[in-house]
A and B are shown apart, each in its own frame.
Chain A
Amino acid sequence: MTSMGTTTFEVAVNLIKLVLVFLMMVQLVPILVWLERRGSAFIQNRFGPNRVGPLGLLQLLADAVKFLTKEDFAPEKGNRLLFYAAPVFALVPAAVAYMAIPMSVPLKFNEYTFLIQGYEINVGIVFILGISSLAAYTILMAGWGSGSKFSLMGALRASAQIISYELALGLSIVGIILLYGTFNLSEMIHAQQGIFSFNAFGHNISASWLPNWGIFYQPVGMILFFAATFAESNRLPFDLAEGEAELVAGFHTEYGGFKMLMFFIGEYGHMMIASGLMATFFFGGYSIWNLTPQEVYQWCFNLIGNEFWAGAMNSLLHFLSYLVKFGIFLWIFFHVRWTLPRFRYDQLMDLGWKTMLPWALANTMITALIIFVTSYYVL
C-alpha cells in the first residue's frame, strides 16, 4: 500500500490514474473494432461499415445501442453463476496486467513523481505472465457454464492451446531477461535508450545510426514471442477455439449482447498487452529513435523554459512515440488475421511444442553462451 503514495493527494492521483488507464483500454476497443472492420474491408476490397456517420465512425455507437437492447439470455441447461461470472472475469486479467506496462517517462509535479502507467511492479514480467495466464479460467468457466457441447469443446481446445503456447512465450523472453538482467519493465526500457552500444570482450562497440533496441540483440526471441502472443490472445491464425466451421463459435457460442462485448474487451485487452510488451521488450518501449529522455527534455526545456511544462511535453512526446509503436503492432494483429488462414489443430500443437519450444530453447542457450563468453573473457 505504501508504494501507492505517501500523501492523500498522491494516493488519490494514483487511484484515479488506474481507473483512467482502464477506461482508456475500454474506450480503445470500439475504435479498434472499427479499425479492424474498415481494415479488413480495405484488405478484401470491400467497403466495410460506411453508412452511420462519417466513414462509419458512428457505427460504434449504433452497435452499443444494439447491444443494450438485446434481451438477456442464459441457456436453461447451463450453470447460471459461471455463465454470468465468465464475462466479468474476462475483463480482469487483461486490464490488471496491462496496468504494469510503462507508457511514458514519469511526470514530475512539485515534489511528486507520477508514472505514466497504472502501477510499477519490480517483477513486472513475472507479474504480467502470471496474471494473463489466469485468462484460461475465463474460457473454461464460459465453456462449462454454457452447458453446450460446442462451448465445452471450444473451451478445452482453447485452454490446451493457451497453455501450450505459454511455454514458448515464457521461454522466448528468457533471452531478453539474460540480456538486461532485470524483471522490471522500466529498467528494461531505460537500458534500450540512446544509440546502439554494448560491451564485448572488455571493449565498447557502438553504432550511432541504430537505436539500442532489444530486437537487434534478440531477433529470434522477438519472432517467437510475437507468434506466441497471437496464440495467447486467440487470434487468427491461432483461433482454433472459435473455429466456426466445426465449433460454431467456440466457448462463446451461447453468449450475446453485452456479455459478448465483454469477451471482446478481454480479447482486445490481450492484444494490447501483447503489443505493449512487444514495444517494451524489443522496440525500446516509449523511447524515441536514437534519443534519450534527457535529450528530449533538454530540447523541450529550451523551447518552453518552464520545468513542469517541459516535463509534461517530454511525457507527451514519449507517450506519442509509445502509441505509434503500439498502433503498429495492433495493426499487424489485424493484418495477419485477414491474411493468413487458420491452422489445423494438430499443426497448431506441432508448431507450439515441436518448433517454437526447441527454437526458444536454442535461443536461450546461444544467448547465454554469447553473454558468458563476451563478458567473461577480456581480449
Chain B
Amino acid sequence: MPLGGVIFITIFIATFGVILIYLARWTGGRAKKTSQAKMDIYECGIPAEEKKDTKISVKFYLTAILFILFDIEVIFMYPWAVNFRHFISTGAGPFVFGSMFIFLAVFIFGLWWEIKSKALEWD
C-alpha cells in the first residue's frame, strides 16, 4: 500500500489550501471593522441573540450511537463477503453461510425493534 504517497498528497493538499487562504487574504485584505454589526454572526436583520443553554434534540446523539452499532455489524460483513467464494471452495460454505445468517437475524431483529419502538421517529 503506497502509504508514502497518501501522506505526501495529504500534506500537499493541506499546504495548497493554506496557501489559497493566505493568497485570498493578501489580495482581498482582512475585513475592516466598520461597524459591530458587520463582525457579528448572521441574523436576519435583527440583533444577534445568544441563548445560554441551547437545547439540541437527543435524537442526534441516539442516531449517532445507533449508527456506530450498525456500522460495526456492517464492517463484520466485509471480511465475510470478500472470502465467501473462498470458503465455498474449501467446503466450509454451509457453516460460514449459516453463521452469518444467524448474525444477520440478530441484526434484523435489532433493526425491527428500533423501528417498532419508534426510536428512529423524527417529529
Contacts and interface: CB of A to CB of B under 8 A. Distances in A.
Interface of A: 1, 3-4, 14-15, 18-19, 22, 67-78, 84, 87-89, 91-92, 95-96, 99, 118-123, 126, 146-153, 156, 159-160, 163-164, 166-167, 170-171, 174, 177-178, 181-183, 248, 253-254, 257-259, 262, 345-346, 349-350, 353-354, 357-358, 361, 364-365, 368, 371-372, 375-376
Q: How large is the interface on B (under 10, 10 to 19, 20 to 34, 35 or more residues)?
A: 35 or more
A15 B97 contact: no
Nearest to B123: A346
A364 B77 contact: yes
Tell me the dominant secondary structure on chain B's binding face. helix
A160 B64 contact: yes
Given A4-B4, A77-B48, 13 more contacts: A68-B23, A72-B29, A87-B17, A120-B2, A149-B51, A160-B64, A171-B74, A346-B122, A353-B120, A361-B104, A365-B101, A372-B97, A375-B93
Given A71-B29, A160-B63, A177-B78, A258 B24 contact: yes
Tell me the dominant secondary structure on chain A's binding face. helix
Interface of B: 1-6, 8-10, 12-14, 16-18, 20-21, 23-25, 27-32, 39-42, 44, 48, 50-51, 54, 56, 59-60, 63-64, 67, 70-71, 74-75, 77-78, 81-86, 88, 93-94, 97, 100-101, 104, 107-108, 111, 114-115, 120-123
A73 B33 CA distance: 10
B41 to A, nearest CB: 4
Contact of A181 (B39, B63, B85, B108): B85
Contacts of B88: 371-372, 375-376
A176 to B, nearest CB: 9
A148 B63 CA distance: 23
Contacts of B6: 96, 99, 119
A88 B67 CA distance: 27
A116 B79 CA distance: 28
A178 B39 CA distance: 55
Interface centre among A22, A146, A177, A248 (most CB of B within 10 A): A177
B9 A95 contact: yes
Contacts of A4: 2, 4-5
Contact of B24 (A178, A183, A257): A257
A178 B83 CA distance: 8
A262 B64 CA distance: 27
A375 B97 CA distance: 13
B67 A167 contact: yes
